[in-house]
């Protein structure tokens, strides 16, 4: 006999309500302890096949197998119920076939944005037949919640960062893809046949492809949350790829077959003004990975990547990619992480993939705390929302949050920030970045009707007072992560 699990009893919705979860947890605790399982009979033929594993919604026992959408949903709901102080679950929308696009927040402040704490994200399974990242993100969630009280680094990361994890952006494509299929396109696209990683607005060329529910949901999501750092998990290669993915004069890769053909040709890089930062972020992932930094080609016919990183357009150009959209439209530093040579490897290899990627997944997120962070205020000390900010010499800008916050990942050096806001005189402020901790920089703008002498930085505000800032430094919350 085999174990089957009935459909989940929890309702679907947006943000899960904590009191309701606790009530459900209390009233059905005996069912949860029994894994909601029942037995059914099978035929003699089925008995000859390998026995399916027993799936348990217990967040303590996530096994190394591929989880369908119902199992994924049950795991996320059970984890949110078990760890209400570290997690929050919400849906950013639905796929074509009505599957929720679940996002799990993992943080010591999961239900609210704390002023000064950056938001970061991971997105998996944008191509449905590349599900290794989908499973890695589930295991990352489990590792975070189970290690918070025992791992100093994890505790620091969750205390100082809000981590949003979208395990699957393309659940419909995953539903029709096949385990063990290393190449090909079955399941790559959404239910309407669109490649979701060619479906975003493009910086270099007009993208005429009709917007899809999955990409529309992601665009709406990142327009509402000021993400500082992001990683998109893919399969089919072993490399960290960084923007730009497109270039003004490129031949465009429109299909998997064409992409494979383009890999045999040399292409020129298309570099962003933040190329040094993107290379650094890519190297952080590659060097903490068990194999990626070796730059070994997956197959003889595919390229090898020096140090395990590449510029996207230098590999092959594409229009409508998600990482370029994140960067150009919202100033979010996103890279594409290709983490498996085989797109859909057999499940027994998943444990090894987790061992290879675990450290990289964690260390990469900590890079959100590198560079400069601070606030933009008016003369009364009130935050200025949507102030436009650029690092001089780096033309891609970003904006402040409704609390006047900003973050920018930068490497050590001397910089000048340019700050603009409607109704205020623009400001330029010089600052220095050092290696070990972020630079704190608060900028005060004067109304444009009259200009008053002002210092380049302001150290207090009603949002975060000087005393609060000092206390945060004492608590280690603004320091770079512990080294051990």
One-character DSSP codes across 464-477: S-HHHHHHHHHTTT
How high is the pLDDT of residue 437?
A: 84
What is the band of 474 on the pLDDT scale with cuts at 50, 70, 90? Answer: very low
The token pair at 189 is: 């696209």
What is the band of 42 on the pLDDT scale with cuts at 50, 70, 90? Answer: very low
Nearest 5°: the CA angle 53, 187, 91 is 75
Q: Which residues contact 92 (CB under 8 A, 6 or more apart)?
A: 101, 103, 166, 217, 218, 220, 221
C-alpha distances in angstroms, 162 versus 107, 118, 165, 417, 480? 5, 6, 10, 25, 16
305: Cα separation from own chain's centroid: 23
Residues belonging to the chain: 484
What is the band of 464 on the pLDDT scale with cuts at 50, 70, 90? Answer: very low
Q: What percent of the chain has pLDDT over 90?
A: 72
Lowest mean pLDDT among 53-57, 185-189, 228-232, 417-421: 53-57
What is the band of 249 on the pLDDT scale with cuts at 50, 70, 90? Answer: confident
Catalytic positions, please?
338
Q: Which residue has the higher pLDDT, 183 or 39?
A: 183
Backbone angles phi, psi at 130, to 5 degrees: -125, 75
Average pLDDT over residues 445-450: 84
How high is the pLDDT of residue 251?
A: 55
Helix (H), strand (E) at residue 221: helix 213-224
Quick check: 315 and 267 in contact, CB under 8 A?
A: yes
Nearest 5°: the CA angle 84, 86, 90 is 70
The token pair at 114 is: 């704390």
The token pair at 232 is: 């998109």
How high is the pLDDT of residue 450?
A: 58
- The full set of domains in the chain, from first to last, is 63-369 (3.40.630.10), 372-474 (2.60.40.1120)
Q: Which residues contact 23 (CB under 8 A, 6 or more apart)?
A: none
Q: Rounded CA gap, 408 and 58, in Å?
A: 38
How high is the pLDDT of residue 8?
A: 36
Task: Using the predicted structure, report yes or no on whether residue 230 has a pLDDT greater than 70.
Answer: yes
* Digit-coded pLDDT (tens) for 103-158: 999 999 999 888 999 999 999 999 999 999 999 999 999 999 999 999 999 999 99
Quick check: 465 and 437 in contact, CB under 8 A?
A: no
* Digit-coded pLDDT (tens) for 179-223: 999 999 999 999 999 999 999 999 999 999 999 999 999 999 999
> pTM (2 decimals)?
0.81
What is the band of 331 on the pLDDT scale with cuts at 50, 70, 90? Answer: very high
Q: Rounded CA gap, 481 and 282, in Å?
A: 18
DSSP state of 36: T
What is the band of 302 on the pLDDT scale with cuts at 50, 70, 90? Answer: confident
Q: Which residues contact 171 (CB under 8 A, 6 or more apart)?
A: 69, 72, 95, 97, 99, 101, 125, 128
What is the band of 266 on the pLDDT scale with cuts at 50, 70, 90? Answer: low
């Amino acid at each position: 006999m085999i174990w089957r699990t009935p459909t989940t009893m929890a309702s679907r919705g947006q943000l899960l309500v904590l009191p309701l979860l606790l009530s459900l947890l209390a009233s059905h605790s005996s069912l949860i302890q029994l894994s909601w399982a029942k037995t059914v009979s099978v035929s003699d033929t089925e008995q000859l096949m390998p026995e399916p594993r027993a799936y348990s919604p217990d967040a303590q026992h996530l096994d190394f197998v591929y989880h369908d959408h119902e199992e994924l949903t049950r795991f996320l709901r059970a984890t949110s119920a078990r760890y209400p102080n570290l997690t929050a679950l919400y849906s950013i929308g639905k796929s074509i076939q009505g599957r929720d696009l679940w996002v799990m927040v993992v943080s010591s402040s999961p239900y609210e944005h704390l002023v000064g704490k950056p938001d970061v994200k991971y997105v998996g399974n944008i191509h449905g037949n590349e599900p290794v990242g989908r499973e890695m993100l589930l295991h990352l969630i489990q590792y975070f919640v189970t290690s918070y009280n025992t791992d100093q680094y994890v505790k620091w990361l969750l205390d100082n960062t809000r981590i949003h994890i979208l395990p699957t952006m393309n659940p419909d494509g995953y539903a029709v893809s096949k385990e063990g299929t290393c190449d090909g396109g079955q399941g790559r696209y959404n239910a309407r046949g669109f490649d979701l990683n060619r479906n975003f607005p493009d910086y270099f060329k007009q993208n005429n492809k009709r917007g899809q529910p999955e990409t529309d949901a992601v665009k709406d999501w990142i327009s509402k949350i000021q993400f500082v750092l992001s990683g998109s998990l893919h399969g089919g290669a072993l490399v960290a790829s960084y923007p730009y993915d497109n270039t003004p004069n490129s031949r465009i890769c429109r299909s998997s077959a064409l992409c494979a053909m383009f890999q045999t040709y040399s292409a020129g890089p298309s570099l962003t003004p933040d190329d040094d930062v993107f290379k650094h972020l890519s190297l952080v992932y590659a060097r903490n990975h068990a194999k990626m930094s070796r730059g070994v080609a997956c197959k003889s016919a595919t390229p090898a990547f020096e140090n395990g990183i590449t510029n996207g357009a230098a590999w092959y150009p594409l229009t409508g990619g998600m990482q370029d959209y994140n960067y150009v439209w919202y100033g979010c530093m996103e890279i594409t992480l290709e983490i498996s040579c085989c797109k859909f490897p057999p499940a027994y290899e998943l444990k090894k993939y987790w061992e290879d990627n675990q450290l990289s997944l964690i260390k990469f997120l900590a890079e959100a705390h590198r560079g400069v962070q601070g606030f933009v205020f008016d003369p009364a000390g009130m935050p200025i929302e949507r102030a436009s900010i650029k690092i001089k010499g780096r033309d891609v800008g970003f904006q402040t949050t409704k609390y006047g916050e900003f973050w920018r990942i930068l490497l050590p050096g001397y910089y000048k920030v340019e700050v603009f806001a409607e109704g205020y005189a623009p400001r330029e402020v010089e600052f220095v970045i050092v290696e070990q901790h972020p630079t704190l920089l608060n900028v005060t703008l004067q109304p444009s009707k009259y200009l008053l002498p002002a210092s380049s930085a302001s150290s207090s505000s009603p949002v975060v007072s000087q005393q609060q800032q000092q206390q945060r430094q004492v608590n280690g919350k603004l320091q770079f992560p512990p080294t051990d």
